[in-house]
Amino acid sequence: MMGSSIPRQLSLNALEPIVIDLLDLQQELTPSFVPVRSLPTPLEFMRQVHTNFPVIYRGAALNWPALSDRRWSKQYLLDTLKDTIVTVAETPFGNADAPLDGTFVQPHTSQLPFPVFVNNLLDQNADSVCYMQSQNNNMPTEFPQLVDDVQMDISWATEALNSKPEAVNLWIGSSRSTTSLHKDPYENLHVQILGQKVFKLVSPAEHICVKESMLKKATYQKSSAGFNLIAEGERQPWPTVDPDEIDSSDQWQSRVRVLEVTLNPGDMLYLPALWYHKVSQVSDTEGLCCSVNYWYDMDFTGPLWPFANFVRGVTNLLTGDEHNDNIADSGRS
Amino acid sequence: MMGSSIPRQLSLNALEPIVIDLLDLQQELTPSFVPVRSLPTPLEFMRQVHTNFPVIYRGAALNWPALSDRRWSKQYLLDTLKDTIVTVAETPFGNADAPLDGTFVQPHTSQLPFPVFVNNLLDQNADSVCYMQSQNNNMPTEFPQLVDDVQMDISWATEALNSKPEAVNLWIGSSRSTTSLHKDPYENLHVQILGQKVFKLVSPAEHICVKESMLKKATYQKSSAGFNLIAEGERQPWPTVDPDEIDSSDQWQSRVRVLEVTLNPGDMLYLPALWYHKVSQVSDTEGLCCSVNYWYDMDFTGPLWPFANFVRGVTNLLTGDEHNDNIADSGRS
């Protein structure tokens, strides 16, 4: 039943104009920048989610206690969390969960007293780059002392999406760490508290431009002698294109449209489900970059998930390596 | 730039599992029936639109004047529209805008006094099948006398989508006419007033199952000798599968999931943008089938339009005939 017994051949050239149409349509029908809007009603936010396009809510969190009286600072966090043990990603170059020479490298993970973590963060000559990036709903579970300084959900988003956030995460890092291009199956609201974050965004329609590959996984192991990479048996599909280093001679990279957003303290970014994002950080004058994000479940019953998965499967045929056969099934992990 | 100089060959068999994944995902993640819901708030309707899944609002229009005092009847319409000239589609078999032996046939169009049209509609032995189906916002322009009997927009939909309907259409037909499977680039609310309508629905993800072909266009011309088909130069992309006559030995038709909805007087169907629908009619005891529909613009800036267009372009490669090269560009017409 799976096709005729004589395998019909199709030139890859037949697929290319269809992919180019997709890129052109996406880029023609949407803005070439991320719009700035005032805070939405639940209905306005639901329309934004439907559009699956990012938007900036400037100053959305300026009245939160963390910001309204400049409550959060290095000293405030050190005082409040002096007895707290935190989970910290450690890497040699600030490259947690990132492609490196054809390998997908994951960080060494440590449990450190918060003051030790901050000392490392502020030491430009430390032998490891630390980033508190655990993304496991750490805000209520690990930092109950800070909960009243921020919000535990974004009320208009909760009402729009008819559910509480799946996770509320506190991120503390510095200019030394960068999050490599990737996507998440969540509607994401990202609120900057200290320092700046710079997002480079690529739409799900442009999957072919980010050259997803099945990378061998490896994990950093830190010892007194430094970092070693320990190979794992599995592979991980991951975009291998760096939006800051586009190869304009590559037929697909040259077609990508990277949208750039800089978040200042109090700003909120709506980052739609399945959008690729690379995130760089700029420390504040005390050396910290700190934000809180809210992950809401995306609607898996709508067309975005199966259609984006289809785009991914088809376009990987055009850019793929020999391991890409496994990609289509591994996207939801 | 358009591919390497040595054309790489790809077996069509490589595309098939990706298409099957799409069909499986769509069918696993959505209900296998059209849910019945109570009337939505604007926000609830916006969530429904985001899901791009049909829903029935039973009895939604029972309090409209057309229905609440059984105002609409054959006699009421004849009295109210006795001097009105209406645009009527005439065909030999009730097959306006339908595939017929590999041709896309369009109806003969007449301007008839409303009483003449109704006489034809009620005459089972008439030599032509009439259907008032002009879909050109005819409600306010041709039938101002009837406007107060219905609604000129659906308030919660207008608020959700932040725009008035692009068109409000009155449809008057009988059991003898059927609308063949097709899709529209509109969010559609269809309200039944007299008789019943039976919808057969197929999701945009299942495009491959409806076997779109580039059909030669022809138009019926009616004369005293009967109907002739006059060929036109153009072709029209159109689904050629009849959801009531699925060929279960066909590898793609056998995978389709047809959802069925019967609307009774007062019921409203939300028919999402780009869903394929075949519509059959059941006349009421007086011989009439009458409904009003509201077309709201779909959001062309969201992912649905480019992604559905991509699915269409790619899957037409698997099912297409030699004319399908032209299909991808002709979808928005």
pLDDT digit string, tens, across residues B106-124: 999 999 999 999 999 999 8
| pLDDT-based confidence at residue B326 (cuts at 50, 70, 90) | very low
Give the model's pLDDT for residue A324: 52
Chain B contacts of A306, Cβ < 8 Å?
A: 22, 25-26, 29, 205
Pick from B160, B203, B314: CB nearest A15: B314
| pLDDT-based confidence at residue A325 (cuts at 50, 70, 90) | very low
| pLDDT-based confidence at residue A314 (cuts at 50, 70, 90) | very high
Residue among A229, A226, A217, A220 nearest A108 (CA): A220
Pick the residue from chain B with its C-alpha nearest to A275.
B303
State mean pLDDT over B282-296.
Answer: 98
Pick the residue from chain A with its C-alpha nearest to B1.
A251
Q: Is the pLDDT at A122 greater than 70, yes or no?
A: yes
Per-residue HEC secondary structure of B37-82 comes to: CCCCCHHHHHHHHHHCCCEEECCCCCCCHHHHCCCCCHHHHHHHCC
State mean pLDDT over A204-232.
Answer: 95
Q: Is the pLDDT at B283 greater than 70, yes or no?
A: yes
Please give the structure tokens belonging to residue A18. Answer: 């269809």
- State the pairing for strand pair A212-223/A103-106: parallel
CATH class entry, domain B2-319 = mainly beta
**Hey, which residues does A100 pair with through a beta bridge?**
A103
Cβ-defined contact of A12 to B11 (cutoff 8 Å): no
Interface test with A, best of B6, B46, B299 (most A CBs within 10 A): B46
Q: Is the pLDDT at A45 greater than 90, yes or no?
A: yes
Pick from B3, B13, B22: CB nearest A12: B3
Cβ-defined contact of A310 to B308 (cutoff 8 Å): no
Residue A25 sits at the vertex; the CA angle it makes with A24 and A29, to the nearest 5 degrees, is 115
User: Minimal Cα–Cα distance from B145 to chain A, Å?
Assistant: 35
State mean pLDDT over B198-214.
Answer: 97
Pick from A42, A43, A313: CB nearest B18: A313
Interface test with B, best of A25, A307, A318, A327 (most B CBs within 10 A): A307
Cβ-defined contact of B43 to A3 (cutoff 8 Å): no
Cβ-defined contact of B18 to A314 (cutoff 8 Å): yes
Pick the residue from chain A with its C-alpha nearest to B248.
A1
Cβ-defined contact of B15 to A10 (cutoff 8 Å): yes
Chain B contacts of A2, Cβ < 8 Å?
A: 13, 16, 251
Question: Which of A1-10, A130-139, B24-33 bottoms out in mean pLDDT, i.e. has the lowest?
Answer: A1-10
Give the model's pLDDT for residue B117: 97
Please give the structure tokens belonging to residue B198. Answer: 């039976």
Give the model's pLDDT for residue A282: 98
Residue among B2, B178, B4, B185 nearest B98 (CA): B178
What string of DSSP letters covers B144-163?
GGGGGGS-SS-HHHHHHHTS
Q: Is the pLDDT at B251 greater than 70, yes or no?
A: yes
Chain B contacts of A53, Cβ < 8 Å?
A: 301-302
Cβ-defined contact of A16 to B2 (cutoff 8 Å): yes
Cβ-defined contact of B328 to A18 (cutoff 8 Å): yes
Cβ-defined contact of B15 to A16 (cutoff 8 Å): no
What ipTM describes this predicted complex?
0.93
Interface test with A, best of B161, B207, B275, B311 (most A CBs within 10 A): B311
| Distance separating alpha carbons of residues B132 and B117, to the nearest angstrom | 9
Question: Which of A219-228, B10-19, B33-42, B92-101 bottoms out in mean pLDDT, i.e. has the lowest?
Answer: B10-19
Which is more confidently placed, B32 or B233? B32
Chain A contacts of B308, Cβ < 8 Å?
A: 303, 307
Domains of chain B, by residue range, sit at: 2-319
Q: Is the pLDDT at B327 greater than 60, yes or no?
A: no
Cβ-defined contact of A162 to B47 (cutoff 8 Å): yes
**Hey, which residues does A277 pair with through a beta bridge?**
A182, A201
Cβ-defined contact of B304 to A303 (cutoff 8 Å): yes
Q: Are B26 and B205 in contact (CB under 8 A)?
A: yes
Give the model's pLDDT for residue A124: 86
Cβ-defined contact of B308 to A303 (cutoff 8 Å): yes
Q: What percent of chain B has pLDDT over 70?
A: 92
| Distance separating alpha carbons of residues B29 and B282, to the nearest angstrom | 32
Distance, CA of B300 to chain centre = 19
Q: What average pLDDT is seen over chain A? A: 92
Q: For the segment B312-323, what is each residue's pLDDT rounded down to a tens digit?
A: 999 999 886 655
Give the model's pLDDT for residue B329: 40
State mean pLDDT over A62-89.
Answer: 96
Chain A contacts of B305, Cβ < 8 Å?
A: 25, 29
Chain B contacts of A305, Cβ < 8 Å?
A: 25, 29
Pick from A22, A251, A306: CB nearest B306: A22
Give the model's pLDDT for residue B324: 52
Chain A contacts of B53, Cβ < 8 Å?
A: 301-302
Give the model's pLDDT for residue B14: 87
Please give the structure tokens belonging to residue A323. Answer: 């391991």
| pLDDT-based confidence at residue B11 (cuts at 50, 70, 90) | low
Cβ-defined contact of B301 to A30 (cutoff 8 Å): yes
Please give the structure tokens belonging to residue B225. Answer: 């000798």
User: Minimal Cα–Cα distance from B68 to chain A, Å?
Assistant: 31
User: Minimal Cα–Cα distance from B43 to chain A, Å?
Assistant: 5
Chain A contacts of B328, Cβ < 8 Å?
A: 17-18, 21
Pick from A17, A159, A205: CB nearest B307: A205
